[in-house]
Amino acid sequence: MLAENFNLTAYCQRIGYTGELRPNLATVQALMQHQLRSVPFENLDVLAGKPISLNPDDIVAKIVGRQRGGYCYEVNGMFAMALQALGIPYQFVAARPMFYPMKRPRTHMALLVTLDGAEWLCDLGFGSYGIRAPLRLDVLETPIPQGCDTFMLSEEGGDIILKAQVEGAWAKQYGFNRCPVEWIDFAPANWLNSTHPDAVFTQKPLVVCFTANGRNILFGDSFKQVDAGITTQRTLAPHEQAAVLEEHFGLRS
């Protein structure tokens, strides 16, 4: 799905990466962490009533050209373009979010990347309890610390389940299988997430950006900062939101 306007050098400049570019795990992990810290997960265009385009050229123009972020299809799509430019095999998977009280459709997009004969889960678009580095798919029931978070992959009913440790307990985040999914298959989910009145993205601002030791989260008028496991939170007045978006998420109106 490489866009005609994708340029690997421009992408690296956008995410602040100046290291080596090789088709190996070290490069993939470094690119993933740099993108997570510079390209926020955000739904501001959804709230503004703007269509969320899945055209690869539009994604590049938005994230690289206009210095914006996006939600899972956009940020994971952007990362897929970088993988393709490096010659790294990958496939899209459709994942079912599992933190809701009721069963939800498989509307989340993630990536399975093949490196050194193994498959790795990469995901740069899951918001607060998203992984911070690739997870090897054949390492199950094993806690994997990533910064201030700890994750684990399990297998249930033919699905691989991503779990995060939340307040001392394992909380299911989403489940997926290895069935390959094509880019166009996410069009209905994109439409639902960007237009349905019950979708979380249509209701209030949701912006997440990772930091070296945690993450910054804006949800509605609540601004939360997690740093080395310590959480601070405050309520923003309407006039404060623009400054917080620029200072902590690199987003300008």
Active-site residues: which are they?
72, 108, 123
SS3 string, the chain, reads CCCCCCCHHHHHHHHCCCCCCCCCHHHHHHHHHHHHHHCCEECHHHHCCCCCCCCHHHHHHHHHHCCCCECHHHHHHHHHHHHHHCCCCEEEEEEEECCCCCCCCCCEEEEEEEECCEEEEECCCCCCCCCCCCEECCCCCCCEEECCEEEEEEEECCEEEEEEEECCEEEEEEEECCCCECHHHHHHHHHHHHHCCCCHHHCCCEEEEECCCEEEEEECCEEEEEECCEEEEEECCHHHHHHHHHHHHCCCC
Nearest 5°: phi and psi at 109?
Answer: -105, 135
Cα separation, 215 vs 212, in Å, equals 8
